[in-house]
Each structure stands twice: as C-alpha cells, then as structure tokens.
Amino acid sequence: MYKTELHLHNAAISRCAHTTDEEIVARYEQAGYTTLVLTNHFSRSSFNARSYASYEDFVHQFWQAGPRLEELSGGRLRVLTAAEVRFDTSNNDYLVFGVTKEMMLENQEMFWCSGLRKFRPFADEQGLLVYQAHPFRDGMTVARPDLLDGIEVFNGHPGHDSRNPIALL
Ligand SMILES: [Zn+2]
C-alpha cells in the first residue's frame, strides 16, 4: 500500500515551515507514509525571504531539498518534488505537480508573474496539474474552477484556519 503526502514544506526553503528534515522523516515514517511530494513555495516572496545569489541559485536549492530528505530517510521514503506557486497577481497559492528543474529555469516569468489565466495554457502544454491550495483561508479568493484541476480540501497547518469543512463541500 502507498500512502502519499501531497502538500509539504521544509524549513530549508519555505519560511512558513518549522519542522526540521529529521522531524519530517521521523513523523511520516511513523505514520506509515511511503511517498512525500515536497511542495515548497516557489514565488518571488519565497525568493526574497532568503539571500539567494540568483534565480538560478534558488531553483538549484529548491531541487536539492527533496533528494536530501530521501537520503535522510535511508531510502525508506520516496520524495518527489512539486511546487506551491503564488503569482504576483494575487495572494492565492497553487500546488503545481509535474514541474521539472529545467522548466523552472527557463520560465521564471511564467512561474512568478503570469497569473492563473496565462499559466493554465502553459500547464496544459507542459502536462502539469494545478490545484488551488487552502482556497478558503483568509486573503484567498476561490479561482475559476475551469482553470484548475482541483482544490485542496484538507490542510493541516496548525497556524492557519483553512476552513477545511467548507472546502470539502
Ligand atoms: Zn503550502
């Protein structure tokens, strides 16, 4: 049986995350997970929050985080990399699955500035899946459903009220 986490940040990249890599591995292993999809924030604000040398440096470190977690687990957890994207155009967060390092290196504008309407055709062309994260959290607006593949209905972050019961409806 596979048990997979689809929304996870680590403190090395995302400033909202407070768990160390060691804690992540220990807790998920204990809870019987086999696979983690590391979805760190990939946006201008997460870039600005740390002193990266350049966009390329950010992308490079972003892609190092997953393999490091996997290594730390001694290979017991499979760790994949995806991204939580926030465009300059709003405060909404989108979980984007199917991204690659090369895609990020070549499309900074698309990932940071485009907005969901422009991003959608790009996502289709690249075979990406786009889910709105915690759409009912304060400061978010629910995106047009035709631009999404789905929404997140359970978010376990203890510091935010994501209004999960509304999302489940
Ligand atoms: Zn998140």
Encode pLDDT of 50-82 as tens digits.
999 999 999 999 999 999 999 999 999 999 999
CA angle 125–127–132, rounded 5-degree value: 105
pLDDT at 166: 77
Asked if 145 contacts 164 with a C-beta cutoff of 8 angstroms, the reply is no
Q: Provide the residue count of the chain.
A: 169
Q: CA-to-CA distance for 107 and 77, rounded, in angstroms?
A: 30
The residue among 111 and 15 whose pLDDT is bigger is: 111
Q: Which CATH number applies to 4-168?
A: 3.20.20.140
Q: Which pair of tokens denotes residue 38? A: 């590391």
Task: Report the pLDDT value the prediction gives residue 160, as an integer from 0 to 100.
Answer: 81
- Give the single-character DSSP code of 151: E
pLDDT at 168 over 80: no
pLDDT of residue 157: 83
What is the CA(77)–ligand 1 centre distance, in A? 20
* pLDDT confidence of residue 52: 96
How does pLDDT run across 81-134, given as a tens digit for each residue?
Answer: 999 999 999 999 999 999 999 999 999 999 999 999 999 999 999 999 999 999
Do the beta carbons of residue 84 and residue 40 sit within 8 Å? yes
Query: Is 135's pLDDT higher than 90?
Result: yes
Q: How far is CA 16 from the centre of its chain?
A: 12
pTM, two decimals, is: 0.93
CA of 53 to the centre of ligand 1 (A): 24
d(C-alpha 108, C-alpha 8), whole Å? 22
Comparing CA positions, the residue from 153, 121, 159 lying closest to residue 7 is 153
Domain boundaries, the chain: 4-168
Q: Which residue type sits at 34?
A: T
Distance 40 CA to ligand 1 centre (A): 7
Mean pLDDT, residues 129-151: 94
| Strand, helix or coil for residue 109 | helix
Cα 102 to ligand 1 centre (Å) = 22
Q: What is the pLDDT of residue 17?
A: 85
Q: Mean of the pLDDT values across residues 151-163?
A: 85
The pLDDT value recorded for residue 169 is: 66
- 124 CA to centre of ligand 1 in angstroms: 22
